[in-house]
Amino acid sequence: MRALVALALIPLLAACSTAMPLKSSVDGSGTGTDISGKWSGSWIGTGLFNSPRQENLTLELAQKGDAGYGRMVLDGAVAAEGVPWEVRQQGLGGIRVFATVSGSKVTLTHDLDDRIFTADMTVMGDQMVGEVRGRKVRLLLARQSSPHAPTQAAQAPQMPPQMPVASEPTTPEPSAVALAPQPESQDSAEKPKSEEPAQRPRQEEFAAVPELKAVYFDFDKSALRTDAVDALTGNTAWLKQNADTLVLIEGNADERGTAEYNLALGDRRAKSAMDYLEANGIAKDRLSTISYGKERPACTESTAECMAQNRRADFRVKSR
């Protein structure tokens, strides 16, 4: 009799298992928080003699259900004593991390050993904050982009299929700037002329003015120091009083490192200054950046004082 009951239950159990699939493991939606995309922010800890240190941090994650995988990069981490050596030695290549999602709680761990790096994070909308276990380190991150955004943008041109103006998606021209093939088929003779000045400002048209002070950076860093913020505050006030000017911010580096690395570092320094100006009321369409890397030193002696003068961002202006 028991055997007959057991045989009768087998089809029922099979039907239940097919009727209730594990959503988080099949389609990746899960029930946890969406952490996919690019995040940026700060690694806030201490260095030698308990001195405060703050490092720029970038985190890119892909998510499948309640698990994620990605890469975390600390700007200039090789020279940052506030970062554990196991993390520091990865440099700008970054470390690979796993993420485990449970509701709004996220655990980030090094993919080789959780003792190297484990952080307990909380997601609040597009903000992610938390602490590194076993260290006096806080992580403050904000979402910069999400993989889901392009799908929404891609659906917009498909909404009016019944209208005869199917070839008229010329309105989303900002996205056409990023897609190289499209300008070749649509007004290829006109668009490069109108876009190139915004991407490559002509430096000879800009001039230095004594009221705009250069800002200086620590070795291998693009984070703004206190003295840099003070200089940028004065620059912001002058630019607000001279609203008819356009601004070119030039990023520079000292002689150490390769040319390619210093070009990238100079670009990050110029953009740090630009972000501050924009956040404090200077219109983005007035601002542009360029990096010279180590090619335009202000001082050519191989001393610490001299190289400190070359780790800078300069400001030049021209009339609209």
Residue 177 placed within a domain: no
Query: How far apart (Å, rounded) are the C-alpha atoms in residues 144 and 210?
Result: 35
**Residue 96 three-state SS:** strand
Residues 141 and 232 in one domain: no
- Is there a single domain that holds both residue 217 and residue 309? yes
- For 242, the domain range is 204-319
Of 98, 103, 94, whose CA–CA distance to 119 is shortest?
Answer: 98
Report the 10 Å Cβ neighbour count for 45: 20
Per-residue pLDDT of 157-187, as tens digits, reads 444 444 444 434 444 444 444 444 444 334 4
Angle at 128 between CA 123 and CA 133, to 5 degrees: 100
Let me know if residue 248 belongs to a domain.
yes
Same domain, 314 and 224: yes
The answer to whether residue 195 is domain-embedded is no
Q: How far is 152 from 47, CA to CA, in rounded Å?
A: 44
In a domain, 137, yes or no: yes
pLDDT, residue 127, reads 85
Residue 98, strand partner residues? 69, 109
Q: 10 Å Cβ neighbour count for 249?
A: 24
- Look at residue 16 and tell me if it is in a domain: no
Q: Looking at the domain assignment, is residue 21 inside a domain?
A: no
What confidence score (pLDDT) does residue 251 get?
A: 96
Q: Which CATH number does the domain housing residue 234 bear?
A: 3.30.1330.60
Give residue 20's identity as a one-letter amino acid code. M
Q: Is residue 311 part of a domain?
A: yes
145 against 211, higher pLDDT: 211
Co-location of 211 and 312 in the same domain: yes
Distance CA 92, CA 82 (A): 16
User: Does residue 189 belong to any structural domain of this protein?
Assistant: no
Q: What CATH number does the domain containing 95 carry?
A: 2.40.160.90
Question: Does the pTM exceed 0.85?
Answer: no
Q: Beginning with the edge strand found earlier in the chain, give each strand of the sheet holding 287-293 in spatial order.
A: 215-216, 312-319, 245-252, 287-293
CB 230 within 8 A of CB 213: no
For the chain, what is the domain count? 2
